[in-house]
Structure 1
């Protein structure tokens, strides 16, 4: 089986010949270790493509994530300001929405003219042409709740879920429409088979289960239902400890839920196996960044033994990895899965 066949089999509820394995995103690590910067690549689709293909050939994960680290440009394209950093992903400097009239002044079609977003789209198509027969080549973006939080400001967003929920719901509807507008051309022309969403502000450490069910879940479902109507898989990552809401994840409709290292992987196996593919959840800092190769191997084997010996599972870090994770630790992480026959 090709890496693509392995991961798609897991997404579809089958048992592939080995444990599927992938980073989540990996943009910060790949850009840094390729010897470039996000700013340098942001207007050069050819260079971005070379970085993605070279990183894929070096790591040989089952999924290649185009646009990882560029997620904030969907908000900046509507009028925000981006701050590039020497190392790490670019930040959105300020929110765009302070009141409902600000939302009404935003134009979703503005993202079509953004140079960086168009660079990412070109790199996606070029990367798919080069390696899409063997690897899943996806494009990643923030989920609806996180886009809304970028537009409104994270702290204001959290307060407004209590004080002005009607406004938050309007911003969430806008964010969901924005996401569909971003991905629709790439779905309709056959470029994408899998969409990757990260919704970190919908974290189990920030939202209660009740808030998640009201403000995050419905909009994830709207988007993922749209993707499913186009026969597209969705890989979804939620940060933080989500053990208390694992039962809600099948209701998103996602093909696979990527779990943070804080989440109980045994509980996830108990609740999710047979209902949806789940992935995780190697600690990206304490194990992959700071740990020895032996610790990486032991941890990965423990997680696979607990959760991944009979399908419906992929080995992944519990979140995106820092840019300075040692290469030998990633090699061992991937090796454990690729040598584990099912």
Structure 2
């Protein structure tokens, strides 16, 4: 069989085309402290400086061996663009949203005039371009963004779930706004060289909102992003935290190429619950990758691979204190796996 470049291999794998072997990629957060020490680009500066962001993303490839480069490392830059208060995070902790800005339709109108080149969103776009210019011919350039449901929750705050259940008019309006923003942001990433998009939508979990609400308040808005990317021949991967087993069939309706599943999902069951997307995951990022040994990583990886996973990857974002040796073992297991 033809030996493909990493870019060709992932392109084909996400579209269920024959490949020479499994790509070694991670669609969730990739940075670790050991990578920061190796490349000289550290959090929190690497969240805000395009050059440092690109350098740390590159370390996932040069230090760990991942066959792709991915930015950013958190899911708060979008909320920050619209004025939400952000706790900056530190060397080990990612930024988090601590203040929200949309209580009603009037508040929503105030944030509609935004500029994608401002703030950290602009820096992320710069980092995508830097990585694309350096690696775009050989490696996949992965862009990541928070999904529309979770972005709406970031903007609306603690009232979000209550507003869903009572059918407040701000809910569909805010979801429309977020989905349109996601599409514009994704297109800007593509213009800067992104070829694969990871949509991270943690609060759209089946465990939190159930199938009926997912189908009404998450599916149409996620699908809007996927459809826009299909027009540009950009593959999409959807990651939602928690045990999404019972919601996988609905998630599959988004049309994404891949669904990244949490470590609590049984891989064999997940594969049986979808018709179109490949299943990605789901090594435990805490018990196995952070707190385990390389030998334990190998055992866990074999179990996931033997279950028939489409792509081996962490079940959620990599913990910043994860040892390099464990991540390298994950990559090694992926590359050596025989279909």
One of 180, 185, 189 as aligned partner of 1:186: 189
Matches within 5 A, 1:301-312: 301-308=302-309
Partner of 1:300: 301
Runs of 4+ in 1 over 6 A off after TM superposition: none
- Report the alpha carbon displacement of residue 165 of structure 1 after superposing the two structures with TM: 4.4
Partner of 2:272: 270
Partner of 1:336: 333
Q: Which runs of 5+ in 2 are unaligned?
A: none
CA distance in 2: counterparts of 1:63 and 1:285, whole angstroms: 22
Q: In the alignment, is residue 291 of structure 1 matched against residue 262 of structure 2?
A: no
Q: Structure 1 residues 14, 167: CA separation in 2 closer, same or farther (over 3 Å shift)? A: same
- Report the alpha carbon displacement of residue 108 of structure 1 after superposing the two structures with TM: 4.4
Q: In the alignment, is residue 315 of structure 1 matched against residue 312 of structure 2?
A: yes
CA distance in 1: counterparts of 2:300 and 2:47, whole angstroms: 35
Q: In the alignment, is residue 137 of structure 1 matched against residue 134 of structure 2?
A: no
Partner of 2:55: 50
CA distance in 2: counterparts of 1:108 and 1:322, whole angstroms: 35
Q: Please give the secondary structure, in 1, of the residue aligned with 2:177.
A: helix
- Report the alpha carbon displacement of residue 128 of structure 1 after superposing the two structures with TM: 1.1
Count of matched residue positions in the alignment of Structure 1 and Structure 2: 333
Q: In the alignment, is residue 324 of structure 1 matched against residue 326 of structure 2?
A: no
Partner of 1:220: 222
1:87-123: CA deviation from partner (whole Å, max 9, x where unpaired): 2211122011112211111124234322x22221111
Partner of 2:26: 23
Q: In the alignment, is residue 203 of structure 1 matched against residue 200 of structure 2?
A: no
CA distance in 1: counterparts of 2:246 and 2:63, whole angstroms: 37
Does structure 2 retain, via aligned residues, the 8 Å contact 1:108–1:181? Answer: no
Q: Structure 1 residues 152, 243: CA separation in 2 closer, same or farther (over 3 Å shift)? A: same
Q: Which runs of 5+ in 1 are unaligned?
A: none
Q: Please give the secondary structure, in 2, of the residue aligned with 1:182.
A: helix
Q: In the alignment, is residue 125 of structure 1 matched against residue 129 of structure 2?
A: yes
- Report the alpha carbon displacement of residue 190 of structure 1 after superposing the two structures with TM: 6.2
Q: Structure 1 residues 218, 165: CA separation in 2 closer, same or farther (over 3 Å shift)? A: farther
Partner of 2:83: 79
TM-score normalised over the length of structure 1: 0.91
- Report the alpha carbon displacement of residue 132 of structure 1 after superposing the two structures with TM: 1.8
Higher relative contact order (CA 8 A, sep 6+): 1
Partner of 1:90: 95
CA distance in 1: counterparts of 2:168 and 2:36, whole angstroms: 40
Q: Please give the secondary structure, in 2, of the residue aligned with 1:307.
A: coil
1:284-331: CA deviation from partner (whole Å, max 9, x where unpaired): 1111111222211011111111114xxxx1111111011011111111
CA distance in 1: counterparts of 2:52 and 2:117, whole angstroms: 21
CA distance in 1: counterparts of 2:138 and 2:65, whole angstroms: 10
